[in-house]
Amino acid sequence: METVTKLPALATPFTLRQAAGESDSTFLYELKKQVLRGYVEKIWGWDEAVQLQYHAANYHPELTSIIMVNGNNAGTVEIDNREQELFICSLYLLPQYQNQGIGSAVITQCMEQAKQQGKRLSLEVLLSNTRARELYLRLGFTAMPQDNDIKIFMYKDFAS
C-alpha cells in the first residue's frame, strides 16, 4: 500500500512502499553505510564483514518502507507496531534528500498513526547524531534519562 504525503512549503512530496527482496536489502545496507558509517567508526570501528552480518540478521522487510521521491529510492523507515507503542527502529535518508522536510514529514506521519492508535511513539538515536536529536526535540520528543553514553531513547506520548 502506497501512502502519499505532501506538507506545505518545506517538504518534498514522497511515497512509501513496502520493502521486499534482495535489491531493497542491498539499498538499505548501502544507505546505512553511507549515513551511519562515520558514527559507527567513531564508536565501534567499521568491520565490513561484521556490518554485513549484522544487517542480514536485522533486516526486516515486513517492518521497512522505502521512501520514494520522484520514483527514486530516497531513504527508509522501519517501524515496529508493538502492543503499547510504535517504535521507529530506523529512519535514514540519502544526503541529497536531507534537509527537505522529508524526515519531519515521515515522523509527523508516525505521530498521527500513534495518536490514532493511542500509543507512545518511541525511538533511539546515537548521542553523537546531534542533527537527528535536534529534529526529534523540535518535533516534541522527550529524552529519557540516559543509561549509556552511546544512544538516547526518546518518546512522544499519545497513549490514552
Residue 149 — pLDDT band, cuts 50, 70, 90?
Answer: confident
Distance CA 58, CA 84 (A): 22
Contact (CB, 8 A) for 125 and 87: no
Tell me the β-bridge partners of 90. 78
pLDDT tens, position by position, 9-42 = 445 789 999 999 899 999 999 999 999 999 999 9
Residue with cell 542480514: 56
Q: What CA–CA distance (Å, rounded) separates 120 from 47?
A: 35
Q: Given strand 72-81, what is the order of strands in its sheet? A: 3-5, 14-18, 64-69, 72-81, 85-93, 120-126, 151-156, 142-143
What was the pLDDT predicted at 11? 58
Res. 5: pLDDT tops 90: no
Handedness of CA 70, 137, 88, 28 (dihedral sign): positive
By C-alpha distance, which of 116, 159, 121, 160 is closest to 140? Answer: 121
The secondary structure of the chain, three-state, reads CCEEECCCCCCCCEEEEECCHHHHHHHHHHHHHHHHHHHHHHHCCCCHHHHHHHHHHHCCCCCEEEEEECCEEEEEEEEEECCCEEEEEEEEECHHHCCCCHHHHHHHHHHHHHHHHCCEEEEEEECCCHHHHHHHHHCCCEECCCCCCCEEEEEECCCC
Average pLDDT, the chain: 91
Residue ranges of domains in the chain, CATH in brackets: 3-156 (3.40.630.30)
Task: State residue 12's pLDDT score.
Answer: 74
Lookup result for grid cell 568491520: 47
